[in-house]
Amino acid sequence: MFKGGWAGRILKIDLTKRKHTVVELPRDLAERFVGGRGFAIKILWDELPRGTDPMSPDNILIFATGPLTGLKIPSSGKMIVASKSPLTGGYGDGNIGVRMAVELKKAGYDAIIIYGRAEKPSYVYIEDKNVQIRDAKDLWGMKTYEADDVLREAQGEDCGVLLIGRAGENLVRYSVIVAEKGRAGGRPGMGAVMGSKNLKAVVIKGTSEIPVHDEEKVEILAEEAYETIERSPNYEFWRKQGTMATIEWAQANSVLPTHNFREGVFELAEEIGGLTMEKVHKIAQRGCPYCNMPCGNIVIAKRGKYSGIESELDYENVAMLGSNLGIGDMNSIIALNRLCDEYGLDTISTGSVLGFLFEAFERGLITREDLDGLSPRWGDEEQALLLIEKIANKEGIGRILALGVKALSEVIGKGSAGFAMHVKGLEISAYDCHAAIGMALAYGTSPIGAHHKDAWFIAWEIKMGRNVVSREKVERLIYMQNIRGGIFETLTVCRLPWIELGFDLDWYPRFFEAATGLKMSLNEMLVIAERIYCLIRAFWIRENNYNWNRYMDYPPLRWFEESLTKGPLKNSKLSYSDYDKMLSWYYELRGWNSNGIPKPETLKGLGLREVAEELKKAYEDKF
């Protein structure tokens, strides 16, 4: 029995058989993989048949929390959505901050695993032990804001809701899962996996208290922690700006993706920056459950034809739908962002696909005829809006654009792969790396493809020296990846108190002990992070049919081949030999071989003997 933290149960729902079962959370899974991403990768490794088509009923969709999720401690309202990705073919997950994270735990579950495919559009309704698969005929095709309203009207405001938009229904490979009008998660196509299961939404109400080992201790720690966060010197500024101040920071440091990552500075950066957002557009602030540093900026378009449209903005949305497309007007970006949320399209990948297309059109690699009569040009938000409609509805050219930038460049050919901005098929999030070799390596080795979730090394890199090529830099990078992707994604709480307001990492083992009654030091958590990183890597290798080499961990050619032509870092580009050197250190430090495959002794040392044996056997059979 668990003393607290974990609810102790997993809910398994088979949509094909219309059946559900509840199983006990295995102690070994909790102690060795903690929660969230740890649970997800272990379940996928154990249960998913090798080579499963991600859009087939055989794929598994996992919603997972961790031992700190939903407790009354800072920023604990987070959960993981994970599956085999239809965009990359590898491990995919996303982190989403929503009421459902708390309701899931209150309903008595740590995770839900969804199997099979419903015969017709459905949604799952859960109220504690009562689990129903309901008809979603009327919700299918509905935009996410409206569907959210309809579900809440029927079930009450006090429930957690996750849903997909038309992009997920139509299996767009970079569709996300959306919630609460503006929260979105699961960049590598988790929305499409949900769509492939004919699952429009999941609605949960939980009525129990989440068990904790030492309630008084949790309360005392929480009070102290909330106060500590509020005393942070950056607290007031953060509450006004959230992640949006990053626009000004990225511009000053030449990393703001501009014109499909050609440049790191944008002449209209001020127009789309945090200050403009705050002074002109912001109308409200909101946050995830139990967060006292809410960062959700609710904004409104004030001028022109989009006047009156509301949306929730973060740095990534603005950079990828703004500077990356040469769009320097916040009103237009608000309209673009809202449309992506309504359809459930990932804003980062959408911005990357459109940026690639604008460039291909400019270079004459694709014509108006190919584009159903459209002529996309930098800065033209009207064309971007039309293209988003086509992608989400898979109309005309939208059918190909819906495949993601890697597949799109393969269709277009003519050397366009050189400016297709992705790693392992996942479009790069909003940091240009012409002059940031460490961040490029972090993207290259991130466990889901190029997402800053694990990879955000840029601020540390700038402090350490952008030109530094050293083993120490790589060591630091791995340490950061393990904390971000290994600790926060398994305890399943928000990492922003730590990153943005300097909330000390030592708080987390203290929360963990008070909640679960188990002692685990930060160093022990870092070992678990290594275990999870290795298992995710093994999963990629297995799903890639054991065809794996170091070039899988390379960022796009653009950063090596073309220099920046503007800004303070003009003429910068990456060097192949430096990148390769850093990659070799990375493998050495992680205990992986020169092709990026975990060595048997590394896997065994992390308690993954069966994984070592499976890899060994596969390679013996193959070669």
Using rule CB under 6 A, residue 316 touches ligand PTT = yes
Q: Are 535 and 41 in contact, with CB atoms under 8 Å apart?
A: yes
Tell me how far, at minimum, the Cβ of 459 lies from ligand PTT, in Å: 13
Q: At what angle do helices 36-47 and 522-543 cross, to 10 degrees?
A: 30
For 58-97, b/e burial (b = at least 16 CB within 10 A) is bbbbbbbbbbbbbbbbbbbbbbbbbbbbbbbbbbbbbbbb
Q: Which of residues 550-609 bind ligand PTT (CB under 6 A)?
A: none
Per DSSP bridges, beta strands 160-163 and 296-300 are unpaired
Using rule CB under 6 A, residue 496 touches ligand SF4 = yes
Rg of the chain (C-alpha set): 23
Per DSSP bridges, beta strands 130-135 and 426-427 are unpaired
Selected from 453, 473, 550, 590, the binder of ligand PTT by CB under 6 A is 453
Selected from 247, 345, 494, 525, the binder of ligand SF4 by CB under 6 A is 494
Strand partners, 183: 179
Using CB atoms within 10 Å of the CB of residue 375, give its burial: 0 to 12 exposed, 13 to 18 middle, 19+ buried: exposed
Tell me how far, at minimum, the Cβ of 450 lies from ligand PTT, in Å: 12
Question: Taking CB within 5 to 8 Å according to partner kind, which of ligand PTT, ligand SF4, none is near residue 316?
Answer: ligand PTT
Q: Decide whether 36 or 116 has the Cβ nearer to ligand PTT.
A: 36
Binding map of ligand PTT across residues 488-527, x = CB under 6 A, - = no contact: xx----xxx-------------------------------
Using rule CB under 6 A, residue 287 touches ligand SF4 = yes
Using rule CB under 6 A, residue 605 touches ligand SF4 = no
Q: How many other β-carbons are positioned within 10 Å of the β-carbon of residue 604?
A: 15
Tell me how far, at minimum, the Cβ of 446 lies from ligand SF4, in Å: 19
Identify which range of 205-213, 342-350, 544-552, 564-572 contacts ligand PTT by CB under 6 A: 342-350
* DSSP character at residue 598: B
Q: What share of the chain is helix, strand, coil (3-state, %, to 5)?
A: 45, 15, 40
Q: Decide whether 436 or 491 has the Cβ nearer to ligand SF4.
A: 491
Q: How many other β-carbons are positioned within 10 Å of the β-carbon of residue 225?
A: 20
Using rule CB under 6 A, residue 288 touches ligand SF4 = yes
Using CB atoms within 10 Å of the CB of residue 576, give its burial: 0 to 12 exposed, 13 to 18 middle, 19+ buried: exposed
Query: With the CA atoms of 104, 105, 106 and 112 taken in that order, what torsion angle do they form, in degrees rounded to the nearest 10?
Result: 40
Q: Decide whether 43 or 430 has the Cβ nearer to ligand PTT.
A: 430
Binding map of ligand SF4 across residues 63-102, x = CB under 6 A, - = no contact: ------------x---------------------x-----
Q: Are 490 and 35 in contact, with CB atoms under 8 Å apart?
A: yes
Q: Decide whether 151 or 184 has the Cβ nearer to ligand PTT.
A: 184
Integer Cα distance of 440 and 446 in angstroms: 10
Q: Are 446 and 454 in contact, with CB atoms under 8 Å apart?
A: yes
Using rule CB under 6 A, residue 97 touches ligand PTT = yes
Tell me how far, at minimum, the Cβ of 329 lies from ligand SF4, in Å: 26
Using rule CB under 6 A, residue 341 touches ligand PTT = yes
Q: Decide whether 239 or 566 has the Cβ nearer to ligand PTT.
A: 239
Start-to-end CA span in the chain (Å)? 46
Per DSSP bridges, beta strands 91-97 and 78-84 are antiparallel
Tell me how far, at minimum, the Cβ of 531 lies from ligand SF4, in Å: 26
Selected from 82, 96, 126, 293, the binder of ligand SF4 by CB under 6 A is 293
Tell me how far, at minimum, the Cβ of 176 lies from ligand PTT, in Å: 5
Residues 6 or more apart whose CB falls under 8 angstroms from that of 40 comprise 62, 64, 80, 82, 93, 111
Q: Which residues bind ligand SF4 (CB under 6 A)?
A: 75, 97, 287-288, 291, 293-296, 494, 496
Q: Which residues bind ligand PTT (CB under 6 A)?
A: 78, 94-97, 176, 182-187, 243, 312, 314-317, 340-341, 345-348, 453, 488-489, 494-496
